[in-house]
Structure 1
Amino acid sequence: MALQPSLRPLLIAGTFDAPHTLDIFLDYVCPFSAKLSLAIDNVLVPLLGPGGRYHGKVKVIFRPQVQPWHSSSTLVHEAGLAVPRVAPESFWPFSLALFKRQGEYFDIPTSTLTPLQIREKLVALAGEVIAVPSNAAGRFADLLLLKSSPNGGTAVTDDLKYTIKFSRQNGIHVSPTVLWDGLVANEISSSWGEQEWSDFFLAKVEI
């Protein structure tokens, strides 16, 4: 699957020239997405990284999946998409941090907050994760500022539109959803551990 240039940091495991692709659609405020994010970090990243059994064979692309029935979902995904523009190497660490603290952005905790206050919380979280360059956190905050036109969105609205259109044209409805080489792999579960992923790759990938 393709990625527009500004979203190349959404490749979170493997290499771009790997012949097989896992597109993993995740929502930052979905508990099952958070569970799968841990498996990605603990299982897939080592398996697909340098020295891993499937390095150069499989790549993983994080596909932001906004779930509009959660009122903060758009805002947290804006934040996720802002990170690649200021500190590409921090996209996955920021995503993991957001998944670990997703409870702060659930419906009830955010019900008394304005969108500006939620964005301030996200800026503070980015400040904890983005270490270099030193001005990255400030530039991150600028990307989440509303434009001067009344309905113009933010500097990452176009990236947000791209991710939403990509999900819609592929008929993605729930998170997490995983595509293997472009087709939905319904057998993949957020509960999978190292054994299940290893068995999956053994059946799918030629070494």
Structure 2
Amino acid sequence: MALQPSLKSLIIAGSPGSPHTLELFLDYVCPFSRKMTLVVNSVLKPLFDEGGKYSGKVKVIFRNQVQPWHASSTFVHEAGIAVARAAPEKFWAFSVLLMERQEEFYDIPTSTMTPLQIREKLAEVASQAGLTSVQVKAFSDALALKGSPNGGVSVTDELKYTIKISRQNGIHVSPTVLWDGLVANEISSSWGSKEWADFLANKVIAQ
């Protein structure tokens, strides 16, 4: 599927010109998305990045899968997009760290927090992920409410884009994985290196 230019940093592994595409629809507050993210980081990225077995053959796109039954899902995905804007090279590091700390943003921990407090906490995660003070300021500015009473924040349009991508393609839950544009239902968050190795051996046909 397509990816608008302002979100090009959501290509988290491989070259943008790679012929095969693996798309990961993940929610930052989904435990199963957390499992898959950690495997992607340790197993898949080394295979697809420069020097890896499938370098130049497969690219991986992170798709923000907002799940509104998790109360903070919108806030955490706004934050991911804000990092993609303020410090694109830190997007994946932020995403991994946020997945690791996702329990802090579950329903009960955030139930007594205001939206501003949630965003302040997300700024602390961004700082821990390696954003500079200037980048954290840009991150926070991207999450500042607009002047109109119901106008959202400056990354709202990008968030709408990611949600529309999910809706028009019938993606309902996370994690959902697409291979070359088709849902690969066989892929599970419980997969490790062997399952992914077998899958890729069967699917990668690009020379």
Counterpart in the other structure of 2:20: 20
1:173-199 per-position Cα deviation (integer Å, ceiling 9, x unaligned): 010000011110000011111111110
Distance (whole Å) between structure 1 residues aligned to residue 167 and residue 104 of structure 2 = 27
Runs of 4+ aligned residues of structure 1 deviating over 3 Å after TM superposition are: none
Deviation at 1:64, TM superposition (A): 0.3
- 1:154 lines up with 2:153 in the alignment: yes
Corresponding residue number in structure 2 for 1:196: 195
Contact 1:83 1:90 in 2 (8 A): yes
TM (norm. structure 2) is 0.97
Query: Could you tell me the percent identity over the aligned residues?
Result: 67
Residue pair 1:23, 1:179 contacting (<8 A) in 2 also: yes
| Superposed displacement of residue 124, structure 1 | 1.3
1:135 counterpart SS class: helix
Contact 1:87 1:130 in 2 (8 A): no
Q: How many residues align?
A: 206
In 1, Cα distance between the equivalents of 2:124 and 2:65? 23
Whether contact under 8 Å (1:14, 1:55) holds in the other structure is yes
Give 1:47's aligned residue: 47
| Equivalent in the alignment of 2:175 | 176
- Structure 2 counterpart of 1:103, one-letter code: E
Structure 1 length-normalised TM = 0.97
1:127 deviates by 1.5
Q: Determine the structure 2 residue equivalent to 1:114.
A: 114
The answer to whether the Cα contact below 8 Å between 1:24 and 1:63 also exists between their aligned partners in 2 is yes
Give the deviation of 1:113 after TM superposition: 0.7
CA-based RMSD of the aligned residues comes to: 0.9
Asked if 2 retains the 8 angstrom alpha-carbon contact of 1:10 and 1:62, the reply is: yes
| 2:62 alignment partner in structure 1 | 62
Give the match's secondary structure for 1:80.
helix
Q: Distance in 1 between matches of 2:135 and 2:204?
A: 39
Which runs of 5 or more residues in structure 2 are unaligned?
none
Q: In 2, distance between residues paired with 1:55 and 1:23?
A: 16
Matched residue, 2:99: 99
Alpha-carbon distance in structure 1 between the residues aligned to 2:60 and 2:100: 20
Distance 1:137 1:49 in 2: 27
Pairs within 5 Å for 1:70-149: 70-132=70-132, 134-149=133-148
Looking at structure 1, the residues matched to 13 and 194 of structure 2 have their Cα atoms a distance apart, in angstroms, of 18
Q: Which residue of 1 aligns with 2:3?
A: 3
Residue 81 of structure 1: CA displacement?
0.3
Deviations 1:96-153 (A, max 9, x none): 0100000000001111111111011001111222334x41111111111100100000
